[in-house]
């Protein structure tokens, strides 16, 4: 995984060296709002632990989130994008049966406190294939570094599972302009493979406040998971999203 991550970073650097940095443009984006989990099933290890839903078996509350993204556009069509997307959720409750998690036994009727972390760090290269007044469309590749952790606590018991790894994704962006300022945006990263799948997609209305600032309001879907002997985890998170982008011109 680590070697694959280095290869993708190397390919992005090579692509950059082939571009003459003329008419370069920097943009900064902040996205915030609230996120809730409609599904979060875990089993650690994946072939022996107790399968547990952190949304149905335990109570899971909505959480505030914030994501940061920096973009660098070169000669209109070439885009380099860096994203920091932390995610943290809490679940708790009582279960009428024993739970085996990460080699630790949690007795029935214990107060379980679960903490779920899934931070994502991404570097993307995207090429804008279509750049017209009413339509923009681009495709690219994303190198994603996953920093995941699940903590389970009960009186007298504690267990933790961490997982860090590299995931290659396909990046895409489609912008349909309704008029000079208002548009509909679909963008994200996604890929499916036998080892698992991942989708992080934003559906939003975008409005240009002026020539430097635009805002977006919409819905973001984060979904995916993996099923192997080490870990079973499939989750779906729903975001109410408000974003602002400032472009240095």
Determine the pLDDT at residue 2: 45
Listed residue (60, 57, 77) closest to 15, CA to CA: 77
120, 165 Cβ separation under 8 angstroms: no
Predicted local confidence at residue 249, as pLDDT: 79
Please state, in angstroms and rounded to a whole number, the distance separating the CA atoms of residues 43 and 103: 11
Indicate the fold that domain 2-248 takes in CATH.
Lipocalin (2.40.128)
Query: Three-state SS for 243?
Result: strand
* Token pair recorded at residue 131: 């750049």
Convert the pLDDT of each residue in 163-173 to its tens digit: 998 999 999 99
pTM listed for this prediction: 0.89
What's residue 195's pLDDT? 75
Q: Which residues of the chain have pLDDT under 70?
A: 1-23
Express each pLDDT in 213-235 by its tens digit: 999 999 999 999 999 999 999 99
Per the rule left: phi > 0, alpha: psi between -120 and 50, beta: everything else, 103 is: left
List the one residue out of 110, 81, 108 whose CA is nearest residue 172.
Answer: 81
pLDDT of residue 36: 97
Nearest to 231 by CA among 161, 169, 166, 168: 161
Helix/strand/coil for 16: helix
């Amino acid at each position: 995984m680590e070697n694959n991550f280095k290869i993708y970073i190397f390919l992005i650097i090579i692509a950059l060296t082939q571009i003459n940095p003329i008419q370069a443009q920097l943009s900064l984006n902040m996205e915030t709002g609230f996120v809730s989990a409609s599904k979060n099933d875990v089993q650690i290890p994946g072939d022996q632990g107790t399968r547990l839903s952190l949304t149905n078996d335990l109570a899971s509350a909505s959480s505030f989130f914030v994501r940061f993204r920096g973009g660098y556009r070169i000669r209109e069509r070439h885009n380099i994008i860096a994203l920091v997307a932390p995610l943290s959720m809490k679940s708790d409750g009582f279960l009428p049966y024993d739970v085996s998690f990460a080699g630790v036994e949690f007795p029935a009727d214990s107060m379980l406190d679960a903490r779920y972390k899934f931070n994502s760090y991404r570097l993307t290269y995207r090429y804008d294939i279509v750049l017209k007044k009413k339509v923009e469309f681009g495709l690219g590749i994303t190198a994603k570094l996953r920093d995941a952790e699940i903590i389970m606590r009960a009186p007298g018991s504690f267990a933790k599972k961490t997982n860090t790894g590299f995931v290659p994704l396909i990046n895409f962006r489609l912008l349909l302009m309704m008029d000079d300022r208002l548009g509909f945006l679909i963008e994200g990263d996604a890929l499916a493979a036998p080892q698992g799948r991942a989708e992080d997609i934003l559906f939003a209305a975008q409005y240009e406040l002026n020539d430097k600032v635009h805002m977006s309001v919409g819905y973001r879907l984060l979904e995916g998971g993996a099923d192997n002997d080490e870990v079973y985890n499939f989750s779906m998170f729903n975001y109410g999203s408000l974003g602002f982008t400032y472009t240095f011109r």
